[in-house]
Amino acid sequence: MPRPVHLDEAIATHVHDGDTVALEGFTHLIPFAAAHEIARQGRRHLKLVRMTPDVVYDQLIGLGVADELVFSYGGNPGVGSLHRLRDAVEKHWPHKLVVHEHSHAGLANAYVAGAGRLPFAVLRGYRGTDLEQQSDIISRVTCPFTGEELAAVKAVNPDVTVIHAQLADPEGNVMLWGLTGVQREAVLAADRAIVTVEEIVDEFPERTGAVILPEWALKAVSVVPGGAWPSYALGYSTRDNDFYQQWDVVSRDRGAFLAWAKENGLEAAADD
């Protein structure tokens, strides 16, 4: 089913205004090229989900793509703040961003529940934190055997999940390895999954720790070499740490950010 399609076609077909969209990749294999295509096509009012918003969502938020954000850690890893995220939350620029904050364990388990099509997941956490005040996504359940009270998180089921992977095979099966984060769950929790890959090979190599997703669990596969830049794809590229450092400068200032967007053909939207 997912014979390679161009990325613009994959995004146009599967990502719609107002969708809940997860672009996953925990510190590795972050689908930047797909994110840029979503911005380029002018999608609006997205509810973005991602454990670590990272620079990729800082860009989308600054570009006005998102109305809401579900996340668990919103920093520029190893650098500092995400200035576009902060500007949207603190000063509502380019418009207000509503945030839903999980812990890593909480959001990871929300995807786990989503992948299993269960309405919630149970974990040992959150207890006594103010995060529990978000009662629409975090609650408690009582163990029917021991009476112990535990945390419950509401399942996350994105309309669309996008990930970047190293390989696809000619049938459209996909393989990723290295730090594979929560991608398996994010893909299986979604209604529609799109994967960009570095390349297509006849046969997958042996790779300890690899995740393989069968083509029938995916909607589209696009070949986008370097699609994770400035993050990295193990075996193909290394993280462009300079870009992450420079982003701190570019993103601090609205004008510099807008200039960056224009230069890269990612027009920041007039706010609506």
- Residues at the site binding a copy of itself, with contacts judged by CB under 8 A: 116-124, 136, 139-146, 148, 150, 152, 154, 175, 204-210, 212
Of a copy of itself, other proteins, none, which one does residue 27 interact with (CB within 5 to 8 Å by kind)?
other proteins
Closest approach of a copy of itself to the CB of residue 9, in Å = 30
- Phi, psi angle pair for 182, to nearest 5°: -115, 20
Distances (CA, A) of 76 to 4, 231, 234: 32, 12, 20
Question: Of 68, 16, 63, nearest to 47 (Cα)?
Answer: 68
What is the smallest separation between the CB atom of 42 and other proteins, expressed in angstroms? 26
User: Quick one: 16 or 104, whose CB is closer to other proteins?
Assistant: 104
Least distance from C-beta 175 to a copy of itself, angstroms?
Answer: 8
Cα–Cα dist 118/112, whole Å = 9
Looking at the Cβ atoms of 124 and 255, the one nearer to a copy of itself is: 124
Instruction: Give the up-direction half-sphere exposure of residue 116: CA atoms within 13 A in the CB hemisphere.
Output: 12
Residue number, 14 or 239, with CB nearest to other proteins: 239
Closer to a copy of itself at the Cβ: 28 or 36? 28
Let me know the angle formed at the C-alpha of 194 by 37 and 70, rounded to the nearest 5 degrees: 75
Q: What is the dihedral of CA 17, 9, 99, 267, to 10 degrees?
A: -90
Point out which residues bind other proteins (CB under 8 A).
26-28, 51, 71-75, 77-78, 81-82, 85-86, 89-90, 99, 101-106, 108-109, 111-112, 115-118, 123-131, 133, 171, 173, 178-182, 184-185, 188, 208-209, 211-214, 216-217, 231-232, 234, 238-239, 241
- Nearer residue to other proteins within complex by CB, 123 or 269: 123
Give the pairing type, strands 220-223 and 20-23.
unpaired
Cβ neighbours, 10 Å, residue 78: 10
